[in-house]
Structure 1
Amino acid sequence: MPEKSEYVEPIEPSAAVAEANRKVAEATSAADEKDGRDFADASRFQIAPPDVPVIMSRKDPEKVVWDFTAYDFLDPDLRAQMPSVNGSLHRQGELTAIAGLFQVTSCREYRIYQVRGYDLSNMTIVEHDAGLVIIDPLACYETAQAALRLFRDKTELTKEQRPVKGLIYTHCHVDHFGGARGIFAELGDPADPGVPIVAPDGFLEHAISENVYAGPAMARRAQYMYAAQLDKGPMGQVGSGLGLTISTGEVTLIPPTHYIGGPQYQPVPKGSWSGSYVIPWRPGLYVFEEFGFPLVLQLTPGTEAPAEMNIYFPDARTLCIAENATHTMHNILSLRGAQVRDAHAWSKYLTEAIQTFGKETDVLFASHHWPVWAEAEHEEPGGKLSNERILEFLNKQRDMYGYLNDQSLRLINDGRTGIEISEELQDLPPGLRDHWYNRGYYGSMSHNLKAVYQRYMGWYDGNPAHLWELPPVEAGAAYVTAMGGAEAVVDQAQQAYDRDTPDGYRWAAELLNHVIFAAAAEDGSPLAEPQVTRAKELQAKVFTQLGYGSENGTWRNAYLTGAQEVVNGPQPLIVSQSSSDLIRSTTLDQYFSALARSVDGPTAAEQHLAPIALNWVFTDAQGAATGEKCTTTLRNGVLVFVEGGDRFVELPAATVTLSRQTLNELAETPGFEENFNKAVQAGKITLEGERAQEATDAVFSTLTLPDPKFAIVTPRQRN
């Protein structure tokens, strides 16, 4: 393989990219002069800015997990002076960089605050006489702890005066639960078991499936999406559109105690509806009153998250719209990877929210960005409020997701593929695109349309030529040979690059990708090192120009991270999505399902022709049986789990007795087999069976470790 290149960044923006960005910057600045309400709203009712320059890791005092000073360059006065940043994305970064403690609204019963700019998401604090209710405690322990500390310092409300009396997760993404334990740090870390922790039904299942099952792959791809390795600045990371970036601290989770939509909480029947809830009754609404004031909840499954809910505060005429409506076009499919979201359901639930809460909402806030307030109809003090701006925001967001879904389906049924649809529909209609909150800062028109196609039609476009394609290395080698060799291909890519147009860059990226992957081909003569180095250096330039021109924050991050890695190789992973709390929160089914995904199936099937069954018996911390048991059987390269025990296994190869705590510890550090055997030696696990140790060794030796820094823009190293 070629040695690491000495190619040195930064790469300057091309003339065309710089000019395009300058024009966008001028246009956005002119628009802000005419209507500066976004900046006014983002700063409205600010109580205090951040009171520290950085937030440090609690486990590594040398590690910064959040840096408030890193984005000082995001100044509206400097927007037009940064030719390497799309002016519209720069504007979005300026807004999301407005950080600190803000009061959202108040009523006689309580006051609602937000801490913004302390993480990718917002933390909302509802303060009432009995204590605090926290909504969405950010992404990590440290930022949540710092956010609560800011609130206490600036309001002078101590933990004795206003203890934390409740926690709400609006949905199952890590930036909305990862800081849960940081909220209780002031009490010595453990949460009070009497504190209600409220979430939509399905929250825990989806939080675990997203962060454990495919966690390593998502964490690696999140490096591209959020560009954690890049320097913050005009030549690097300028935000992600939904927020600045995601923090890199300790991810925690406290499981919910109350599930809205679960057996505990069912929709309120019409006859039980109270006038104190302000809004008219509609079927499917839930009410939660255990905090001492009513909350009306609307479940919105399958929208921005598979388990999500909106929260209405009747006493304050205020709606928390979770992450279902934000000041950006959101993702139908996240670039880090996830299950495809349902744009139709998203649009439908926004319609339901508008019809349910629209007339009675004077303040709208979300788990990201800044609120929207009703405005006085007249300038006279005490005049009637008009919430037309709130309704317009919700309606336009609803229309956007409906448009993405419906127009994709129209063209699907006309025979278009995902790529063709994204080229044909390059923008929204003027009535939608001309609103900042519908611009593609986080999601994009292009990849969202492809996501809708994927949801309905899958990966295959129906063309048999695409049914059994060569993989990238083999295809690259064949293309390079067919086009006259690597030098000829790179020459053509250089010509495309020199055109200094978006399509020229796109074509150059495709050509160079073939050369870079062809270098790893095993058949045929290897490419000369200078050819590959030249291809990588030019690809870095191509990616950089595409990144500099992107209005979308995650596209910019992906391109600029790719530019760095195509030359320097994959970088170490900065943050892992999995945590001890996530492991502790798994059911046995989830735990062993995750373990099954690390089995080297081909090797296991070849080495173990006969099934190997293990019975697992669980005890409490004192060694007393809990009655919980299960069976795992390795057969045909698959680890099969049966809860309660497999009735077809009469004589297991081994019986494994251990506590659930010990089982959790086996997965908290890499190397399950080694951890298991150490626990046996320490007496934490007992084995029964004539050849029990041999059986467990046979099963656990088939487990593999994921590669936390697998290659993305270069060929992976083959075993």
Structure 2
Amino acid sequence: MTIKPTLQTGSQDEFTGREKLIAHSEEFRPRVVHVTEGVYVAIGYSASNVTLIAGREGSIVVDTAANPVDAKAIIEAFGSHLVRPVKAIIYTHNHPDHTGGATVFAGDESPGIYSHELLRSATPSMGRGQRDGGDAFGMHLPAEDFINAGTQLEYGRTTRHTRQGFLPPTNTFDGDEEPITIAGIALQLISTPGEADDNISVWLPEKKLLIAGDVLLKTFPNIAPLRGLPTRPVDKWIESLDKLLSLEPDFIVPGHMGVIANAAEARNAFTAYRDAIKFVYEKTMEGIAKGMTPDELVQQIKLPEELAQHPYLQEFYGTVSWSVRGIYCQNAGWFDGNPTNIWPLPAKERAGKLVAMSGGSAKMLESAEAALAAGEFQWAAEQADYLLDLTPGNRAAMTVKMKALRELGERQMNATARNYYLSVANNLKARCSDDADGLRSPA
């Protein structure tokens, strides 16, 4: 995939994050990887990985892709490696991108469907309702704007979300782990909450192979999702990583992206992931104890350099700053300690006072346009918001915000931030009559 800079403003250095995100798409190249004897993983055919374990009496499938269409493509890709009957399907967790193709793998063979008991009560959620077209997955972005979705090449763009391929579990456990033998293969199902409370990891002790679910991904963890979900349980996530580290696996198959195929890299990845989450959690809690606000903590808490540069901690999906805000709210609530914020002015009233202070709407619009021209895109967007709080249909303000969001989006390494910025920018473009061609370089 090659995406060229499309904006008139900014040096090429400003687009380094975007170029990294483009390069990250290589993680989703469709392929079937032979991990070790009898274990294959299909990567890039769907929004999540599907793992095939060949047993003496049939096959075991771990996770089932996002939908029946993808599942059929994966069965074709597995070819003769998939030996019928499928004796069992194991869900690592409830997310739709892992559970949407079970009916295709099951066929008419009635395999056992295994999961943690918590999956039964889990309700897959896409987060808050859309505001101004904002979409962290970029499902409706035009092809020229879309790069990837952080942990998958795309989700919901080619094939819409569906639960038609889901099969409810027939075998669950509610403890820390459950040893089972299926098709002659000894497995341990291990409760490893992190990105999902019901996440389990599948351990094959004889092969020293771990199928981790979403507890370890090649991106900074999405502790506080932009799309509007509860902050993930950081303390449990750390415990899960410690538990998996103690297994000393030779192979790790994550829920998304590529396989780790040696013990040293596996230990390094798990250790860095745990240490990064623990660092952000502990520093946030220290700041809370000192009475610091979320805004202050976001400015202060940065990963140590050796973690910040680690390939498993690049901010393609989650970020340190969002994690800080999520952990703060999870542990200290919404109030930041500043009494001015106990009963803040309504947005429209505050905007009216700020606009008046600036000399009126025309003056603030002039200031916002000047900020845009100067490359101060965040400040331009914030001033546009004040004008829109006063007059939601202000097309000039919408145009400034649209341009500012597009500039911000094009500079993102984080896929969900990019997708959200550009989704809202395109929504604003559709709502206002101003020609947006000025955003792009001449052909």
Contact 1:14–1:545 (CA under 8 A) maintained in structure 2: no
1:498-544 CA-partner distances (Å, limit 9, x unpaired) = 222xxx22211111111123214xxxxxxxx6xx2121111111111
1:414-468 CA-partner distances (Å, limit 9, x unpaired) = 221112211222x311111111211111001111111111110122212232222
Alpha-carbon distance in structure 1 between the residues aligned to 2:328 and 2:74: 40
Secondary structure in structure 1 of the residue aligned to 2:136: helix
Tell which structure's C-alpha radius of gyration is larger. Answer: 1
1:123-522 pair list within 5 angstroms: 123-152=50-79, 155=80, 161-184=83-106, 186-187=107-108, 192-193=109-110, 195-206=111-122, 208=123, 210-211=124-125, 217=128, 224-233=135-144, 236-247=145-156, 248-249=159-160, 250-252=162-164, 253-261=166-174, 284-301=176-193, 303-355=194-246, 357-358=247-248, 361-374=249-262, 387-425=263-301, 427-500=302-375, 504-520=376-392
Query: If the length of structure 1 is used for normalisation, what is the TM-score?
Result: 0.56
Determine if the alignment matches structure 1 residue 566 to structure 2 residue 428.
yes
Contact 2:127–2:228 (CA under 8 A) maintained in structure 1: no
Contact 2:56–2:183 (CA under 8 A) maintained in structure 1: no
Contact 1:141–1:251 (CA under 8 A) maintained in structure 2: no
Report the residue type matching 2:213 in the other structure: A
Deviation at 1:561, TM superposition (A): 0.8
Contact 2:88–2:182 (CA under 8 A) maintained in structure 1: no
Secondary structure in structure 1 of the residue aligned to 2:69: helix
Point out the more displaced range, 284-293 or 217-226: 217-226
Contact 2:60–2:86 (CA under 8 A) maintained in structure 1: yes
Mark the CA change 1:290 to 1:468 in structure 2 (over 3 Å): closer, same or farther.
same
Q: CA RMSD in A?
A: 2.3
Name which structure has the greater RCO, CA cutoff 8 Å, separation 6+: 2
Alpha-carbon distance in structure 1 between the residues aligned to 2:95 and 2:361: 44
Alpha-carbon distance in structure 1 between the residues aligned to 2:191 and 2:36: 23
Secondary structure in structure 2 of the residue aligned to 1:487: helix
Contact 1:167–1:196 (CA under 8 A) maintained in structure 2: yes
Deviation at 1:145, TM superposition (A): 2.3
Where does residue 118 of structure 1 map in the other structure?
A: 45
Give aligned-pair identity as a percent: 25
Contact 1:296–1:311 (CA under 8 A) maintained in structure 2: yes
List alignment gaps of at least 5 residues for structure 1.
1-9, 25-84, 267-283, 375-386, 521-528, 571-719
Where does residue 34 of structure 2 map in the other structure?
A: 103
Mark the CA change 1:474 to 1:319 in structure 2 (over 3 Å): closer, same or farther.
same
Alpha-carbon distance in structure 2 between the residues aligned to 1:542 and 1:562: 11
Secondary structure in structure 2 of the residue aligned to 1:340: coil
List alignment gaps of at least 5 residues for structure 2.
433-443
Alpha-carbon distance in structure 2 between the residues aligned to 1:149 and 1:471: 57
Alpha-carbon distance in structure 2 between the residues aligned to 1:372 and 1:448: 25
Contact 2:133–2:423 (CA under 8 A) maintained in structure 1: no
Runs of 4+, deviation exceeding 4 Å: 218-223
Mark the CA change 1:544 to 1:166 in structure 2 (over 3 Å): closer, same or farther.
same
1:197-253 CA-partner distances (Å, limit 9, x unpaired) = 1111211211x2x43xxx6835779961011111223xx110122111213333332
Aligned residues: 425
Deviation at 1:93, TM superposition (A): 1.6
Report the residue type matching 2:20 in the other structure: S
Secondary structure in structure 2 of the residue aligned to 1:432: helix
Secondary structure in structure 1 of the residue aligned to 2:245: helix
Where does residue 440 of structure 2 map in the other structure?
A: none
Alpha-carbon distance in structure 2 between the residues aligned to 1:119 and 1:471: 44
Contact 1:123–1:135 (CA under 8 A) maintained in structure 2: yes
Deviation at 1:405, TM superposition (A): 0.5
Where does residue 90 of structure 1 map in the other structure?
A: 22
